[in-house]
Structure 1
Amino acid sequence: MVASSVLWAIKVLAAMTSLMMICSPSISVYRIHKKKDVGVASVIPLASLLANGHMWMLYGYMVENWFPIFWIFVFGDIAALTFLVVYWRYTTERRYVGRVLAAVFSILAIATVYAVVGGFGHTGQSRYQVGTTLGFICDVVAVCLYGAPMEKLFHVLKYRSAVFINVHMVIAGLSNNCTWITYGILSTNWFIISPNILFISLNSFTLVLYMVFNPKTHPLPDNFHRATGPECAESVVSIELTPKENFNRKVNNELPSTAFEAMQSPLETLPW
């Protein structure tokens, strides 16, 4: 009874932290709606949020993990689609955005068809085996998405200033990772444990960099604005999941904005 109560408490905490990460782009999307302009915001983090959420929703359905996996990421799917609708309405680069979304929707369509066909037993796999396959795919997607914003850490080291780090979202992401790895340990689930070890390590390293190169004591160098002018602007795309979103495309003549922080996904494979 005690173990079951503890597990449910962790599941609730994991669900709450995941919801916070999923909703993290909402403020920036509201600003886009209010200004009727996407500015320097990139579609990549929003498309990634949709891809990540949809894959975990399929996974939760296949392994019958209704809570927290399935229902949390049903909400994530709806939220990501809503964000993308707003972005599509106000973007001036519809050709590029259309190509990105076409690629994402195509991949998700293939995964959905596989889940449906496999669920009916037409792939020669059991429902649980299909879920396990989807779990591996989800792990790969989560690691790829989480690795994308690591480019900003190179900027921190290059300019010796942590202004590129949204420390509040890093802390929130680290809390989310700790909750899910605890859930993974309690459920003896290495699909959860292994990736979150990586996520916790990266977030912890990011916090160490922030403390070493604190913006208050290590501001950007005087030549930063000249070095990052329009003619030599560097590309910075941040998807910090874990849903989790700073989504600048270019380093501007101002300090980097923290538009989107992406959600770090839970990684679940145990059927419930």
Structure 2
Amino acid sequence: MVTAETARNVVGIIGNVISFGLFLSPCPTFYRIVKNKSVEEFKVDPYLATVLNCIFWVLYGLPFVRPDSILIATINGVGLVLELIYICIFFFYAPNKERKKVIYWLCGEVIFIAAVSLAILLVFHDHKRRILAFGIICDVFNIIMYSSPLTIMKKVITTKSVEYMPFYLSLANFLNGCVWTAYALIKLDIFVLVSNGLGALSGAVQLILYGWYFRSTPRDEKVVELKASQIQLSVSDGPDRV
């Protein structure tokens, strides 16, 4: 008989695989940057935001905060490494103004994370309160990240075109949210449940919009490459996406 813990681990591994795919989604963008030796109009902001999100989810999944959630820490650790690689590539090809922005933001994030983490760990000495504190912070950042597709969805409705909404990315976000929601329900984790439940809902709305406006999308328009950097995470959602 399959135990709840075994089922949770299996679902978590599936979630890790899907989340890993989402973390890799910006690769075409950075291939283009390297190929053209220019960041063009791409923005680094989503990657800086995802770094902050991933670090807090890594902390949330570590044993000194939540002992039974190592799969959350692993996928967000992988996501953190990938996001830092993306930022390094951006930094290498960016103009001086953008480079300064990256340095200032990363320094600010390090100070913010260190201050918040030390305060929580020093003030709260039991798992229950640490989970509550880190969980609330993680959910706040995740909700902010999950709200990013709202501008794209608004554009789809106003233009009656899905040109700027990639189907497979929307589908992956929906599946990612569903898998991590199931993970959170097997052994109730309210913080993973809230953020990924919203992620699944967001993905579902995107898919509905895609299906509704697909036929009305002009076929003679020049296909504009979607800048994946402006649509992220939601990974870790895993739990960036978690």
In the superposition, the TM-score normalised over structure 2's length comes to 0.86
Shift of 1:18: 1.3
Shift of 1:116: 3.7
RMSD: 2.5
Partners of 1:190 and 1:206 in 2: CA distance: 24
Q: Per the alignment, do residues 170 and 124 of structure 1 end up closer, same or farther by CA in structure 2, a change over 3 Å counting?
A: closer
Shift of 1:87: 0.1
Shift of 1:27: 2.6
Which residue of the partner structure matches residue 53 of structure 2?
A: 52
Amino acid at match of 1:255: V
Contact 2:76 2:239 in 1 (8 A): no
Which residue of the partner structure matches residue 257 of structure 1?
A: 226
Q: Per the alignment, do residues 75 and 15 of structure 1 end up closer, same or farther by CA in structure 2, a change over 3 Å counting?
A: same
Partners of 1:157 and 1:262 in 2: CA distance: 20
Structure-to-structure mapping, 1:84-233, within 5 angstroms: 84-92=87-95, 94-99=96-101, 101-116=103-118, 118-119=120-121, 122-214=122-214, 216-219=215-218
Amino acid at match of 1:10: V
Structure-to-structure mapping, 1:227-242, within 5 angstroms: none
Partners of 1:221 and 1:125 in 2: CA distance: 62
Amino acid at match of 1:58: L
Say how many residue pairs are matched.
234
Partners of 2:137 and 2:160 in 1: CA distance: 36
Shift of 1:266: 3.6
Shift of 1:9: 1.0
Question: Comparing 256-265 with 5-14, which one deviates more in the overlay?
Answer: 256-265
Partners of 2:23 and 2:128 in 1: CA distance: 27
Partners of 1:190 and 1:207 in 2: CA distance: 25
Partners of 1:185 and 1:13 in 2: CA distance: 15
Partners of 1:157 and 1:194 in 2: CA distance: 26
Percent identity over the alignment is: 20
Shift of 1:258: 3.7
Shift of 1:97: 4.9
Shift of 1:90: 0.5
Between Structure 1 and Structure 2, which shows a larger proportion of helix residues?
Answer: 2
In the superposition, the TM-score normalised over structure 1's length comes to 0.77
Partners of 2:116 and 2:37 in 1: CA distance: 38
Shift of 1:113: 3.5
Which blocks of at least 5 consecutive residues in structure 1 are unaligned?
Answer: 223-252
Q: Per the alignment, do residues 114 and 90 of structure 1 end up closer, same or farther by CA in structure 2, a change over 3 Å counting?
A: same
Contact 1:162 1:213 in 2 (8 A): yes
Which blocks of at least 5 consecutive residues in structure 2 are unaligned?
Answer: none
